[in-house]
Amino acid sequence: MPDIEKTSAAPKKAADTAGIGTILKHADRGDADEALKVLQGADGEVIVLTPEEEKKLLRKIDLNLMPLLCIVYGLNYLDKTTVSYASIMGLKTDINLVGQDYSWVGSMFYFGYLAWEWPTNRLLQRFPLAKYSSFNVIMWGLTLCCLAAVKNFAGAMTVRFFLGVFEAAVSPGFALFTSQWYTIREQGARTGWWFSFNGWGQILGGFVAYGIAVGTEAHPIAIKSWQLVFLVIGLFTAAMGVLFLWLMPDNQMNARFLTPKERIMAVERIRMNQQGVGNKHFKWYQFKEAMTDPMIWSFVFYSLIADIPNGGISNFFSQLIVSFGFTPKQSLLVGTPGGAVEVIALIVCGHLGDRLQNRLLVCTSGLLVAILGMLLITCLPQDMSLGRLIGYYLTQASPTPFVALLSLISTNVAGWTKKTTVATMYLIGYCVGNIIGPQVFQAKDAPQYRPAEITIIVCWCVCLVDLMFIYYWCRRQNKKEAVIRAQPGYQKLDGQEFLDLTDGENPEFVYSL
């Protein structure tokens, strides 16, 4: 393997023209990605995977990682929206929530998320990924249990804040897991798989809440039904966190389910990503690149605008369904098919996006369906309960672009400091949007919430325009990189894909659409 000095022997002018000067500036093999160290330790052995071997290895990785990622991510959604079920099971009356109090309880989760998002992303880079993620899963499960003990508005606000603190690690952490284990052609579908368990969480939550509500009415116990919901779901989450700690590897190098040779093969197969599997050192130049990249800011803008509707609907969907003419108990059950719509939309768009190699255009279909659903809720007469309920179901297809962009953070952002910085920025937008969302649902507008419904439609239309800009920008950048690679004197460094370079400085990098 040639060293950096030997590789840089090409004429300086030609190298700079091709963009190699920037690469050489930051291509420090002593601070390279963890993957390069693994391949260097293979004693020069060349690893060539046959299609059969790669298919077998991918199946093994899926079977060991995906169930854990899916279940825990489903609990992530269920745990933060359990308050929606509790709101129609007596929580608001028992702890004396009046006016906009409930809206602030919904928003407070995202204040905690926002406050800890940057530190937790830094810790995800610095600490072993699986172990730090497991700690947060256990802690947010135990924190959810604490909601069963709140007696007033202040107590609910405090617990919801810390619930947001511990859940802040899950989305960026899972995006890192996906980028380190899967190729760019697989990441869209896999992100769709684990994110789709938001829908399964909604389905499970509805049935659990309904079962507890009916069961405690028939057989009263010492605590209220809404308290039991928090305890059951919280303790199950903490138990899953312990299982996650035991089974989930930090990366390919300590995956117990792989043989030593398979670990090297698992690293080799992601070489095409031009990203590697992790680097623990913070690099200021990568941080600055993230802060000045127009594509990144368009990601953040989307996250902010799209999560205004998300914050409102996720906290008010039970009350919204009641406004269609259903009883509180009925709303616990009739809301569950919305979760199925989300699951189907995410899995179909994820697979089609990877198959057609165009996640951005495919994902807009879910957003268009959601806009149609909100138009049904807004425009149909109040006595058309079934039509408005179908409209609610259709709105649950709205996360498809958010998930596609989350997967594109894994795929289209290279350099581990830049990647964790972008994940932080994206989820800060997510937090701010979700803080605003519940406030759009004003108590004075109940039960119809017409201004909130119109706001949601406008937000989703703005999001469509933003997606088109991201699509245009990625195509433009790919053309520019192709010109650089075609320049006379361009040289690709040996092991360049594992030197922890950013997408902006690596001419070999190709943006996925």
Query: Would residue 7 count as lying in a domain?
Result: no
Does residue 27 sit within a domain?
Answer: no
Cβ neighbours of residue 481 under 8 Å, at least 6 residues apart? 507, 508, 509, 510
Q: How many CA atoms lie within 13 A of 167 on its CB side?
A: 33
Question: Which tokens belong to 193?
Answer: 């798989």
pLDDT number for residue 238: 96
Global pTM reads 0.77
The alpha carbon of residue 3 and the mean position of all alpha carbons in its chain are separated, in whole angstroms, by 38
Quick one: pLDDT at residue 336?
84
Does the CA dihedral 315-317-319-320 come out positive or negative? positive
Report residue 337 as tokens: 């098919």
Go through 31-44 and write b for each residue having 16 or more CB atoms within 10 A of its CB, e for each that does not: ebbbbbebbeeeee
Task: Report pLDDT for 8.
Answer: 32
Domain assignment present for residue 437? The answer is: yes
Angle at the Cα of 468 from the Cα atoms of 464 and 472, rounded to 5 degrees: 170
Q: Are 121 and 172 in contact (CB under 8 A)?
A: yes
pLDDT tens track for 424-462: 899 889 889 988 888 888 888 877 788 888 999 999 999
Rounded to an integer, what distance in angstroms lies between the CA atom of residue 309 and that of residue 178?
A: 27
Range of the domain at 233: 41-498
Q: What's the sign of the alpha-carbon dihedral 438, 442, 448, 450?
A: negative
Q: For each of the chain's 513 residues, which pLDDT tens digit applies?
A: 333 333 333 333 333 444 455 555 555 555 555 555 555 555 545 566 788 888 999 999 999 999 999 999 999 888 887 888 888 888 999 999 988 898 889 889 889 988 998 899 889 888 999 999 999 999 999 999 999 999 999 999 999 999 999 999 998 899 889 888 998 888 888 999 998 998 888 888 888 888 988 888 888 888 899 999 999 999 999 999 999 999 999 988 889 999 988 888 888 887 766 555 556 678 888 999 999 999 999 999 999 999 999 888 877 777 788 888 888 878 878 888 888 999 999 999 999 998 898 999 999 999 999 999 999 999 999 889 899 999 999 999 999 999 999 888 878 888 888 988 898 899 889 889 988 888 888 888 877 788 888 999 999 999 999 999 999 999 999 998 888 888 887 777 666 666 778 888 888 888 988
Q: So what's the pLDDT on residue 404? A: 92
pLDDT of residue 14: 34
In a domain, 427, yes or no: yes
- CA dist., res. 342 & res. 199, Å (int): 5
In a domain, 482, yes or no: yes
Residue found by looking up tokens 């390919």 in the block = 252
Residue-wise pLDDT tens digits, 229-248? 999 999 999 999 999 999 99
The confidence score (pLDDT) of residue 40 equals: 55
- The SS3 assignment for 357 reads coil
CB atoms under 10 Å from CB of 1, counted, come to 11
So what's the pLDDT on residue 18?
A: 43
Angular region, 489: left φ>0, alpha ψ -120 to 50, beta rest: left
Cα 35–15–485 angle (5° rounding)? 70
State the SS3 of 348-395.
HHHHHHHHCCCHHHHHHHHHHHHHHHHHHHHHCCCCCHHHHHHHHHHH
Instruction: Report the candidate in 430, 373, 377, 378 with the shortest Cα–Cα distance to residue 401.
Output: 430
Q: Is there a domain that residue 19 lies in?
A: no
| Two structure tokens written together for 241 | 């966190």
| pLDDT for 140 | 94
CATH number at residue 176: 1.20.1250.20
Ordered DSSP codes for 179-238: HHHS-HHHHHHHHHHHHHHHHHHHHHHHHHHHHHHHHHHHS--SS-HHHHHHHHHHHHHH
Q: How far apart are CA 76 and CA 57, in angstroms?
A: 28
H helix runs in 251-327, sequence order:
260-268, 284-291, 294-323
Q: In the chain, how many domains are there?
A: 1
The secondary element (H helix, E strand) that includes residue 417 is helix 416-440
